Amino acid sequence: MIPIEPPTPATPPQITIVDKVRANAKAHPDKPALSCDGVEVSWGAFDSRINKIANLLLSMGVTKGDNIAIISPNSIPYAELFMGILRAGACVTPLSTMASPDALEKMLTDCGAKAIFVAEQYLELVNGFVTDLDLARFAIDFDHTAFQRFDAAVDAADDTDPMIPIEMSDAFNLIYSSGTTGTPKGILHNHWMRAAQMDRVTPNGYDDNARTLLSTPLYSNTTIVSFLPTLFGGSTVYLMPKFDARAYLQIVEREKITHTMLVPVQYKRIMDVPDFDTFDLSSMRVKFSTSAPLRAGVKADVLARFPGKLLEYYGLTEGGGVAVLNASEHPDKLHTVGQPAPGNEIRLIDETGNEVPKGEVGEICGRGPTMMAGYFGRDDLTADYIWRDAEGRVFFRSGDMGRFDEDGFLILSDRKKDMIISGGLNIYADDLELVLLGHPDVTDAAVIGIPSDAWGETPLGLVVLREGAIQTAEEICADANAKLGKSQRLSAVETRDVLPRSSIGKILKKELRAPYWETAKN
């Protein structure tokens, strides 16, 4: 792999998350570690299950660095599997439940997973191909002749700590994009990267008997960056299998939740609950937002009515430069995503790779202690993602465009990367365009993100039809959506006589998006 060599933070990480979780269980075995749907698991019981899962994997011949896949809603078994895989020295590969079966098959083939753990809710996503793959199959909560029963296998395993030595350079997790076509792109994080993120544990109070409520899926880096600090701090994680705004408020009130991670669309839905102001949310200390920009108006509403500090993180799953906005301390900067976090650098470059003058818009490139090891098995993609400064240091290209204001706060503008963020999930427009272009009546196609009250952004297909086309735009939309994953489905398809293109043939998507976003502002 291409060496990334992230900068060393002022206080380098001294302990892996695996070792810290082990120590926390010994220090307070009776303290609650996990809670989900009314079921609570103590740190002692959690540690025992972690050992059993690790030993189960080791008994199957799993060795250090092997990829072990999970596809499941948030649950206690999911959390136990996550940490058990790591204790075995293997790499957690959490699969998106919003991906299509075709994409999931490509991901599992690409990473060469040695085993997969499946929840019944998502069996249909893998059932058509998983028995053809050379890997062990475990059913988390159902019976199936082609799967081993998870609970029976774990119950039979030894609960002695295998004490597999973990190095900071070892693989930690592999997170895939949820595209449907082309070669999957797996983002590989190592133990150093995750351990370096634990510098936020004490400053954010994760080690002060925190009760963290997580309602985004555990396959998402958005969730993982709050899940891991809570466990590292020896506190308690509350998991919601499925987000519901009112149920979320009920849990915060009942369980006296102190910390939470939410994506922008969830904040909007929570604040729109009609009787929001009747809930006692006074226990909340810190609320985090990430995955997409949180609109300034929503931030202001959260500050006014939702107790606790509001921190917005701007960054990428790949890592690199991170910006943080403490909205409570900077209420006049709600239109920004904050300033570079300590130990992080952010540079803005033009199309030729040169830094832009102060105040001008450029592509955001970042460098910091938390950087991916690379794209799994794809040094070519990793190389394309890198920009080097005059000293030869590695920065990651974000594909996002932005500028710094006079106070050094980062303001996002148009995205260079052709990606739509809907409900906090990344949707790659080219995946959807390939499906549309595969339709016999379509001669040209573009997919853009347009405003959505429900999702923040939603994909819209714009197509040019062949002469004599038989199907309508509505029928083409239905045909495409039948081939796409749930999170990728088009909100609609509209026809155009022609799609605007630049002199070198690129579709001018900014021009296509403009009318929809201008209407949303009015």
Separation CA 8–CA 30 (nearest Å): 36
150 with 169, same domain: the answer is: yes
Contact 432, 481 (CB under 8 A): no
* Domain-embedded: residue 261: no
411 with 424, same domain: the answer is: no
Contact 365, 315 (CB under 8 A): no
Last residue of a domain, one of 392, 415, 438: 415
| pLDDT value, residue 11 | 87
* Domain-embedded: residue 137: yes
Distance of CA 228 to the CA centre of its chain: 13
* Domain-embedded: residue 280: no
Q: Go through 255-287 and write b for each residue having 16 or more CB atoms within 10 A of its CB, e for each that does not.
A: eebbbbbbbbbbbbbbbeeeebeebebeebbbb
* Domain-embedded: residue 394: yes
439 with 363, same domain: the answer is: no
Q: Which domain holds residue 437?
A: 419-521
Tokens describing residue 361: 């818009």
Tally of structural domains, the chain: 3
358 with 392, same domain: the answer is: yes
Q: pLDDT by residue for the chain (522 residues), tens digit each?
A: 898 999 998 889 999 999 999 999 999 999 999 999 999 999 999 999 999 999 999 999 999 999 999 999 999 999 999 999 999 999 999 999 888 899 899 999 999 999 999 999 999 999 999 999 999 999 999 999 999 999 999 999 999 999 999 999 999 999 997 554 556 799 999 999 999 999 999 999 999 999 999 999 999 999 999 999 999 999 999 999 999 999 999 999 999 999 999 998 899 899 999 999 999 999 999 999 998 788 888 999 999 999 999 999 999 999 999 999 999 999 999 999 999 999 999 999 998 999 999 899 999 999 999 999 999 999 999 999 999 999 999 999 998 889 999 999 999 886 666 678 888 887 878 789 889 999 999 989 999 999 998 888 999 999 999 999 999 999 999 999 999 988 889 999 999 999 987 644 568 888 999 899 887 765
74 with 194, same domain: the answer is: yes
411 with 481, same domain: the answer is: no
| pLDDT value, residue 503 | 46
Which residues is 37 bridged to in the sheet? none
Give which of 290, 315, 176 is closest to 222, Cα–Cα: 290
| pLDDT value, residue 453 | 87
Amino acid at 356: V
Contact 212, 236 (CB under 8 A): yes
* Domain-embedded: residue 92: yes
| pLDDT value, residue 414 | 64
Tokens describing residue 369: 């202690």
Helix (H, G, I), strand (E, B) or coil at 274: coil
Sheet order of strands, 236-239 included: 39-42, 32-36, 236-239, 211-214, 259-262, 286-289, 309-314, 323-326, 339-340
352 with 444, same domain: the answer is: no
Separation CA 507–CA 509 (nearest Å): 6
Separation CA 352–CA 345 (nearest Å): 20
516 with 385, same domain: the answer is: no
pLDDT tens digits, one per residue of 408-444: 999 988 666 667 888 888 787 878 988 999 999 998 9
Helix (H) or strand (E) holding 124: helix 123-126
Helix (H) or strand (E) holding 374: strand 374-375
Please report, for the domain that includes residue 463, its CATH number.
3.30.300.30
Q: DSSP strand E in 131-227: where?
A: 136-139, 148-149, 171-176, 186-190, 211-214
Separation CA 193–CA 137 (nearest Å): 29
| pLDDT value, residue 522 | 54
Specify the DSSP class assigned to residue 9: P
Last residue of a domain, one of 415, 433, 452: 415
366 with 389, same domain: the answer is: yes
Last residue of a domain, one of 353, 381, 415: 415
**Composition of the chain by helix, strand, coil, percent to 5:** 30, 25, 40
